Structure 1
Amino acid sequence: MEHSRQRTELKAFLRTRRAALPPEAVGLSRGARRLTPGLRREEVAALANVGITWYTWLEQGRAINVSAAALTRIAQALQLSATDEAYLFHLAGLPHAEPVTRRIVLPPSLQGLLDLYQAPAFVIDPVFDVLAFNAMADRLYRFDDFDGRFARNHLWNAFMNPLRRELYAPSYEPGLLNLLGVFRMSHAAHPDDPRFDVLIDALSEASPLFVDLWQRHEVSPLRAWSAHFNHPEFGEIRVHSNRFPLRDGKADGAVVFFFVPEDEATTQSFARMTECLREEEGTTAA
């Protein structure tokens, strides 16, 4: 565990998960003198068959040797989900994540694919900077309507852009938690990318809501997510948000988002959006 922020996050993550696991869930009696809502450190150590001193040091974020076998037993003792277990391994440096210090280069054909797709689609890098998008995604998010240091950052806009807050209003907090969960997984997988620290520090200073939600230590895998928007021009929009990581050499680390209409009303909204874009293109050409 080479990185101080990783150790700090590991400490908070283990404490949070330990406090959230009631003793009854692992067959232990709560007893009359228990002061903690969840398991004690010595109980986790016993369940995982590791030394109490070693586990205490691990939970304190000390720089100690950690084996995959011991970490697996701890994950089992804390009844972590597969996603949480993967996140724990990332935080502990097992396996060691490849640093992302290079600039992502998208394949030239990708923009053509986004443009052909008849619904919003866009691409972000590991720190959630928007790299590419189609016209429908731009009509939904208005990528260039917000300025400043993090103007093209999807996470920063979610917390700091008032227009995004209105757009996400129908499911604002659940949507933010899902977004933070994916971001946290990406952060753990790229511990050497300094842009994460810069963004997290900036959001921590600017948004009390970010601090509150970030401290919940939620993690989310790359999976489909049902998103609900309230667009000022096209009304309620419900989509399945499908995320696909790119595996194309210089583009490794980028993720493509494809939105799929969840209901007929959204399909009709996207049809109207497409028609509006065509009319605007025709006006511009004339």
Structure 2
Amino acid sequence: MRTSLQRTELKAFLRARRAALVPEAVGLPRGPRRLTPGLRREEVAALAQVGVSWYTWLEQGRAINVSAAALTRIARALALSPTDEAYLFALMGLTRTDVPEHHFSLPPVMREVLDLYQAPAFVLDTVFNLLAWNRMAERLYDFGEFSGPFADNHLWNAFMNPARRRLYPGFENGALNLLGMFRMNQAAHPEDPRFHQLIEALNAASAEFVALWQRCHTAPLSAITVPFFHPEFGDLSIHSMRLPIRDGDHVDRATAFFFAPANAETAASFARVARRLAAQQAAPAQA
């Protein structure tokens, strides 16, 4: 820890989490004479397999040597959430040695919203892997047409899928915006190895990616207007609106993209394709 503020926050944070954890939650008896709310320091030390004195010094914010492995055991002993654990490591200035898996399930209502929306809409996780989409987005992007280890990744397809590249008349501006959002996601989830894996793969496969990534561009989720071209839809001008989707710990886990027409021609194109899809869906039912 580098500042007195970090030491003060560490003391408050560890004490609060220890006080909030009831003994029964970790398989310990409460006993009739327990006066301490939550766990005792010696109980946390035993659960984390560290010395009582060492844990006491840690909780007091003293300048002691702390390994990432020991801090991980303390996080487990205190039953910290993924965000709590990330915060604890950030306070200590350490990098986690093991990466907790985040099992995020898209809320079912989001799929219903996508189906009700009468323009292309889809959801990407933090690494830009495709999670869900509606029929209009499927028609525009032709999801599933590409193969390989990153076949479902929106960023990989933007650079490596020739059919996807042809959708973007102004590729560089759109790619920079996409990379800017991706870079922000990477900064918010430094523990996720999928970012590094994808970046390494794109570095090896695309000189254009390397050149754009080295600009270190950042971009917010705010809506932008982008041009598209598609053989069926024609020339499009689209407002790309992005909405974050958070988990129970209020951590961003995905982004919903909703495309809205930016001019009358695009609105007419969306309406025409939507009618065509509705007719195709109704045809088997009538048969």
CA contact (8 A) 1:239 1:266 kept: yes
**1:180 corresponding residue in structure 2:** 179
Offset of residue 227 of structure 1 = 1.3
Deviations 1:214-248 (A, max 9, x none): 00000001111111100111211111101110134
**1:204 corresponding residue in structure 2:** 203
Matches of 2:121 and 2:206, distance apart in 1 = 27
CA contact (8 A) 1:246 1:256 kept: yes
CA contact (8 A) 2:159 2:165 kept: yes
Determine whether 1:244 maps to 2:243. Answer: yes
**2:191 corresponding residue in structure 1:** 192
One-letter code aligned to 1:212 = A
**1:232 corresponding residue in structure 2:** 231
**1:136 corresponding residue in structure 2:** 136
Distance change (3 Å), C-alpha of 1:259 and 1:212: same
| 1:1-286 alignment, distance < 5 Å | 101-168=101-168, 170-249=169-248, 252-285=252-285, 286=287
Deviations 1:134-167 (A, max 9, x none): 1001111111111111111000000000011101
Q: Which runs of 5+ in 1 are unaligned?
A: 2-92
CA contact (8 A) 1:104 1:125 kept: no
Tell me the secondary structure at the aligned position of residue 259 of structure 1: strand
Offset of residue 249 of structure 1 = 2.0
**Greater relative contact order, per chain length (Cα 8 Å cut-off, separation 6+):** 1
Offset of residue 101 of structure 1 = 2.9
Tell me the secondary structure at the aligned position of residue 253 of structure 1: strand
TM-score norm. by structure 2 comes to: 0.64
CA contact (8 A) 1:101 1:192 kept: no
Matches of 1:166 and 1:188, distance apart in 2 = 30
Offset of residue 100 of structure 1 = 6.7
Q: Which runs of 5+ in 2 are unaligned?
A: 2-89
Tell me the secondary structure at the aligned position of residue 166 of structure 2: helix
> What is the percentage of aligned positions where both structures have the same residue?
55
**2:28 corresponding residue in structure 1:** none
TM-score norm. by structure 1 comes to: 0.64
CA contact (8 A) 2:202 2:209 kept: yes
Q: Alignment RMSD, CA only?
A: 2.5
Tell me the secondary structure at the aligned position of residue 144 of structure 1: coil
One-letter code aligned to 1:157 = N
Of structures 1 and 2, the larger Rg is shown by 2
Matches of 1:226 and 1:133, distance apart in 2 = 20
Offset of residue 275 of structure 1 = 1.1
Offset of residue 282 of structure 1 = 2.1
Distance change (3 Å), C-alpha of 1:245 and 1:94: farther
Distance change (3 Å), C-alpha of 1:100 and 1:235: farther
Matches of 1:240 and 1:117, distance apart in 2 = 14
